[in-house]
Amino acid sequence: MQTPAPFEYERATSVEGAIASLVRQGGGARIIAGGHSLLPMMKLRLATPEYLVDINDLTDLSYIREAGGEIRIGALTRHVDLERSEVLAAHYPVFGDAERVIADPVVRNRGTIGGSLCQADAAEDLSAVCTAANGSAVIRGGEGERIVSMDEFHIGPYMTAVGEGEMLTEVRLPLRHGGGSAHEKVERRAGDWAVAAASAALWIDGGAIADAGVALSAVGPTTVHVSRAEELLRGKPPSEELFAEAGALAAEDCSPIPDGRGPVDYKRHLAGVLTKRALRRAAARALHQEA
């Protein structure tokens, strides 16, 4: 039987209350939402929090809305709601692509975007999605809020910028004209972690790529942000050759390890091919040419 180590449990009734508890309890306290990342880690005793603050009742943290020229997603928004969101389907279809292949529909009923991002598993899809989409994370603590980019958010394997006495409350994505995005993943079986996955976002203006975002899952110690591919893409008209070149950079810039999901050369190959495919689909969506 897999059982988490003992802990104390509290059900939060407000964001302020949850943060006050985190501050009071110190480093041994963790937030729990859907629990589908944290509880498996606790069963394996890879995580041994002494105090859990359950935020499932904080339904004011569950939303997807447009505000201030951005899309704002509450940390408690569940995968199923991201998958079905019309706002995201219109502006960031990369979320729908990713959500359809994250775990399985039963898990997606419970798991949340906040939990996925805070788990910061390199193989986790939404970290790559939010990085490619040039998203930012709102972190709240006793002293107020701060906003960090996804690069600043990911500080290492399973480590984020969310510090002691703080919680992730919101994810923000820029609302910009001419955007298209896509996520491509190869998994061994339904619901498995990625062998490799690529997220891409393109903003096309007047026939040229005004801006680009490319990030990879499962092929490095953390989410791989492929900045070199983004620099290559900016300012050029979208083409198959350009996307292949960007894919080659993604394959070079990742650092997969060999494991049961495949050897290094295969994962590098996948990183390149999936980047190319994601860019191709992102461009078709930006240009409203998707079949």
Partner 1 sequence: MQVTITINGESVSRDVEPRQLLVHFIRETPGLTGTHWGCDTSNCGACVVLMDGKPVKACTTLAAMCEGHEIRTVESLEVDGRLDPVQEGFHEKHALHCGFCTPGMLMTSRALLDENPNPTEDEIRTAISGGICRCTGYKNIVAAIRWAAEQEAATRQGA
The residues binding partner 1 (CB under 8 A) are: 1-9, 11, 32, 35-36, 39-40, 42-43, 52, 54, 56, 103-107, 109-110, 190-191
Q: How far is the CB of 78 from partner 1 (least distance, A)?
A: 10
Single out the residue of 161, 92, 86, 176 nearest to residue 132, CA to CA: 92
User: Any bridge partners for residue 53, and if so which?
Assistant: 10, 31
Closest CB to partner 1 among residues 62, 131? 62
What are the CA-CA distances from residue 236 to residues 245, 247, 254, 271 (Å)?
A: 12, 15, 23, 22
d(Cα 277, Cα 261) in Å, to the nearest integer?
Answer: 21
Q: How far is the CB of 33 from partner 1 (least distance, A)?
A: 10
Closest CB to partner 1 among residues 193, 203? 193
Q: How far is the CB of 192 from partner 1 (least distance, A)?
A: 9
Q: How far is the CB of 87 from partner 1 (least distance, A)?
A: 21
Closest CB to partner 1 among residues 151, 192? 192
Instruction: Count CB neighbours of 144 within 10 A.
Output: 7
Q: How far is the CB of 226 from partner 1 (least distance, A)?
A: 30
Closest CB to partner 1 among residues 48, 255? 48
Phi–psi pair at 243, nearest 5 degrees: -65, -35
Closest CB to partner 1 among residues 43, 228? 43
Walk across the sheet containing 194-205 and list its strands.
179-187, 194-205, 208-217, 224-225
